[in-house]
Amino acid sequence: MKPERQLIDTPRRARGKKRGWGPLFLAAFVGLSRLLWAPLLCMGLGVAAYRWLSHVESFQVEQVAVRHNQKAGAEEILALSGLTSKDNLVSLAAGDVEERVEEHPWVERAAVYRRFPSTVVIEVSEHEAAMAANLSDEEGGSLYLINREGLVFKKAEPREVSGLPLISGFAVEEARGGAPRAMNGISNALEILALAKAPGALSLDEISEMVVEGEEGGLSLLLSRPEAPGAFVRIGRPPYAPKWKRLEKLFADLARRGIAARQVDFVSDTRVVAVPAAVSAEEI
């Protein structure tokens, strides 16, 4: 009898344990469903709302405002943006519009904002030309504009280079390809222009041309002075601050003596050799 009770009781205990896990799994499933249904419902409602709003006529583009443009025409920017009255502010891809507007040669950066219910605002930041460049290219040679970061950003029209100092001595492909000769020359020229803005004997208006010489981007300057004939200055490589101070002192000394320099060569950062007009070389 004892073995029979064991044979009957053991399966009952096993079956009881199996039935105990079922309610636990069911309870866990119900609890998890309650946690998930609300986010899923909200997500579905959000997608439905977006689809509906992206087709609402009240949110279609009716006006485009272009701001902070001076060189780039508003009509040109509008044409590049690709915006039409069929576009909807909700579904508008602002990043794509910004990229298209930045294709304008004068536009450095663009930002697009929505103004509900029906206005798009395009704000642009334009390049600021620091100097003009006479560079060799596939056409033999053309004028270009270089901004304050040293970027050759567009081919220039004659009216756009008025009043800008000129740099030459390398090809446009070298500048756009990052060749050391061009990059060093542009960087050196920007440093010279920054020094020329400080009060002193030489001003920015007196620098009519800068010529890049050598792979290290050393410079020669053609100065145009109203009170005397222009001088050709081989200023060479940096550092330029001590050379610029020496150059200012040199021209001041020559002016007091009534001498006009035709050419100036830097032997070192502080020592120069000047060739006065119609006079033999004189070391100063």
pTM of the full structure: 0.75
Residue 13 has pLDDT above 70, yes or no: no
Residue 85 has pLDDT above 70, yes or no: yes
User: pLDDT digit string (tens) for 213-268?
Assistant: 988 899 999 988 666 567 899 999 999 999 998 888 888 898 888 888 889 999 88
What the block records as the tokens of 157 is 């029209």
Residue whose pair of structure tokens reads 């272009």 in the numeric block: 66
Question: What percent of the chain has pLDDT above 90?
Answer: 51
Torsion, CA 76, CA 78, CA 79, CA 82, rounded to 10? 150
pLDDT value for 261: 85
Residue 42 has pLDDT above 90, yes or no: no
Q: Partners of 109 in the beta sheet?
A: 125
Residue whose pair of structure tokens reads 């990229």 in the numeric block: 99
**H or E element: which one contains 246?**
helix 241-256
Report whether 100 contacts 78 (CB < 8 A).
no
Q: Which amino acid is at 42?
A: C
- Span 134-156, average pLDDT: 94
The strand ranges marked E within the chain are 63-67, 107-115, 119-126, 129-136, 142-147, 152-155, 166-171, 207-213, 218-225, 228-236, 261-266, 272-276, 282-283
Q: Partners of 145 in the beta sheet?
A: 132, 154
Task: Note the Cα 77 to chain centre separation in Å.
Answer: 18
pLDDT value for 143: 96
CA triplet 129, 132, 133: central angle to 5 degrees?
Answer: 135
What lies within 8 Å, CB to CB, of 157 at 6+ separation is 143
